[in-house]
Amino acid sequence: MTTKSASGRGPVVTRKAFLEGTVAAAGALAAGGLAGLAGPGGPALAAEVATRPIPSSGERIPVVGLGTARVYDVAPDDPKVPVLRATVDAFVKGGGKVIDTSPTYGRSEPMVGRLVGELGARDRLFLATKISTSGEQAGIDSVGVSMRSLGTDRIELLQVHNIKDVGTQLRTIRRLKEAGKVRYAGITISNARAYERFEKLMRSEPLDFIQVNYSLGQPESAERILPLARDKGIAVLVNRPFWLARLFRKAKGHDLPPWSAEFDGKSWAQFFLKFILGHPAVTCAIPGTDRPEYMVDNLGAGIGRMPDQRTRARMLAFWQRL
């Protein structure tokens, strides 16, 4: 299904229209991953989502992950639970690994633990969660709750959320690394007002990961944070890649530029994600995703060509004029 563009230049391929061709494919992931999935009129996608190395270890992770803030904060008996289960199933079968959550995301963390357990997917995933409290014992207790909620005795990435009591909590994370309970240490932020302090911590603390907001709507972290991460050899998770859905609202009724084909972008979601993934410092983007067809669409951003620096500048200029 297409709609008339506001500009009158022809049909608009909306996310809804694009996804009409992927709903059936989402259900077929078990048979063949993403192989054979195509956008409207486009070529079949390759089977493999790109991976990038974590600089501190060389371990590779897929470039598209799953964020769980808000959208996984549902009650155990909510009718949405089967849809969330299908979404996580599509993620795993499509080659995704990184799931990011937090005890501050309401019921998201136990919901993730439940779904991962029901799918028997724990050993195929890279689980990331956070400490978001003050005080040493409170931080230790928080990790214990997270492990019980997630149904695991180990966490791949443990982050100090919004750099709260960061010195204390990083010491706890490093002790857990030494004990083999945590593999990587990180810090997170999603507010540009804290970038200056965040940057200082990146320079002074040995970190495996940072997590920062970055998108066409909030490109500021590319000025200093992302280049510093690359210089320091720190992996980067990108939160709010759709700017809390604001990007979709702005794009509604507008044509996807035809030159998106130059980097294999077949939907607005892929346009937004490929802008992020084209940055050489970015390791993985973690869009919040609560429907399997959205998940298939998002994973498609990790397949095919990525925009180079010149194209990314063109994408940003296009977006700012839209």
DSSP-assigned beta bridge partners for residue 139: none
Burial label, 177 (beta-carbon count in 10 A; 0-12, 13-18, 19+): middle
By DSSP bridging, strand 66-67 and strand 98-100 are parallel
DSSP-assigned beta bridge partners for residue 210: 187, 236
CA-CA distances (angstroms) from residue 85 to 116, 135, 293, 295, 299?
A: 8, 35, 12, 12, 17
CA 305/CA 265 separation, integer angstroms: 8
Q: Which helix (H) or strand (E) holds 312?
A: helix 309-321
3-state secondary structure of 269: helix
Q: Which of 249, 229, 315, 224 is nearest to 276 (CA)?
A: 315
* The two structure tokens encoding residue 309: 């620096």
Q: Which helix (H) or strand (E) holds 29?
A: helix 29-32
* The two structure tokens encoding residue 190: 């999603």
Q: Which of 92, 86, 93 is nearest to 127 (CA)?
A: 92
DSSP-assigned beta bridge partners for residue 160: 131, 187
Q: Locate the domains of the chain by residue range.
A: 9-24+39-321
Which CATH fold topology does 9-24+39-321 show? TIM Barrel (3.20.20)
pLDDT in tens, the chain (322 residues): 333 333 333 333 445 544 554 444 444 444 444 443 433 333 334 459 999 999 999 999 999 999 999 999 999 999 999 999 999 999 999 999 999 999 999 999 999 999 999 999 999 999 999 999 999 999 999 999 999 999 999 999 999 999 999 999 999 999 999 999 999 999 999 999 999 999 999 999 999 999 999 999 999 999 999 999 999 999 999 999 999 999 999 999 999 999 999 999 999 999 999 999 999 999 999 999 999 999 999 999 999 999 999 999 999 999 999 9
